[in-house]
Amino acid sequence: MSCRPPFTITSKILSLVSDIVEIITNIKHIETSLNTLKLRKKNRIKSITGTLQIEGIGSKDGMTHVAPPPLRVPELMQELFGWLKTTKEHPLIVSCIFHYEFEFIHPFSDGNGRIGRLWQSVILSHYQKIFGVIPIESVVRENQEAYYKALEDAGTAGEGTPFIEFMLEIILKTIKGVSKENVPLNVPKNAPLNRLDDILDLIQKNRDITSLQMAEILKISDKTVKRDISKLKEQNRLKRVGSLKSGHWEVVK
């Protein structure tokens, strides 16, 4: 049986998903440097430390989460997993919804927060492998009070929307940090000469090639290709003939 959890896709949610996807696309070229044994260990420690330091659910007034009756837990969990298997929502949104619904059902006497966050990490990792080395737990710990408030706000609203928005903000903050921290320090400010030559070679083979196509072939970001092209134009080694839409590149001899 599958029953859709209550939530609303807001413009804020759509905007956050769009921002996250854009950053993930831009940092894919550094994924290899992220996926090292040393860095995986470092981020795993951050995740473990973070999850162990996040307390159970409780409000400032001393109120605690009131879970559904125990007899309903098997049915609710079956419905939640049924929805997880069939939903067509974006995985970023799905991971947040599952996390909240798991906390709401509260199937265990202890450890629900850790398991809920683990499930979100698993869903995110299946969506993009890079999430397997991103310590979202540590960022949640740094925003612990806001995390509890988002859970309470969702409970008050009767739907997971406030929590989805909060967790997407956490994910966005996390990947922004990863993007800044893991750019290789030994990359020179000026484009390597061999890469500039590679771009010229690609253009000589196909003068209609796009910057995105070059980025995919060279395994670098589209932004880097555009920066290199600007450098080549400054050096009078490359020029654009016609418009960006219908023109073509021409290597200057």
Full-model pTM: 0.63
**Residue 116 scores a pLDDT above 50:** yes
Q: Is the pLDDT of residue 108 over 70?
A: yes
Residue 50 banded pLDDT, cuts 50, 70, 90: very low
- Give the per-residue pLDDT at 23: 86
Is residue 59 very low, low, confident or very high in pLDDT (cuts 50, 70, 90)?
A: very low
Q: Give the up-direction half-sphere exposure of residue 47: CA atoms within 13 A in the CB hemisphere.
A: 20
Judged by average pLDDT, the poorest of 82-86, 174-178, 232-236 is 174-178
Say how far apart CA 224 and CA 214 lie, in whole Å: 10
Q: Cβ(2)–Cβ(86) under 8 Å?
A: yes
Give the per-residue pLDDT at 177.
80
Q: Check residues 84 and 222 and name the one with the higher pLDDT.
A: 84
| pLDDT tens per residue across span 184-241 | 434 444 445 678 889 999 999 998 998 889 988 988 888 888 888 988 888 899 998 8
Say whether pLDDT at 114 is over 90: no
- Token pair belonging to 232: 């080549």
- pLDDT band of 90, cuts 50, 70, 90: very high
Q: Looking at residues 41-58, what average pLDDT do you find?
A: 49
Q: Which residue has the higher pLDDT, 242 or 171?
A: 171
pLDDT at 92 over 80: yes
Instruction: Quote the pLDDT of residue 119.
Output: 93
> Do you know the residue count of the chain?
253
**Cβ neighbours for 37, distance < 8 A, ≥ 6 positions apart:** none
Rg, the chain, Cα only:
23
Of 152-156, 176-180, 243-247, highest mean pLDDT = 152-156
At 139, the pLDDT band (50, 70, 90 cuts) reads confident
For the chain, the average pLDDT equals 81
Position 87 scores a pLDDT of 95
User: Where do the domains of the chain lie, and which CATH numbers do they carry?
Assistant: 11-181 (1.10.3290.10), 193-251 (1.10.10.10)
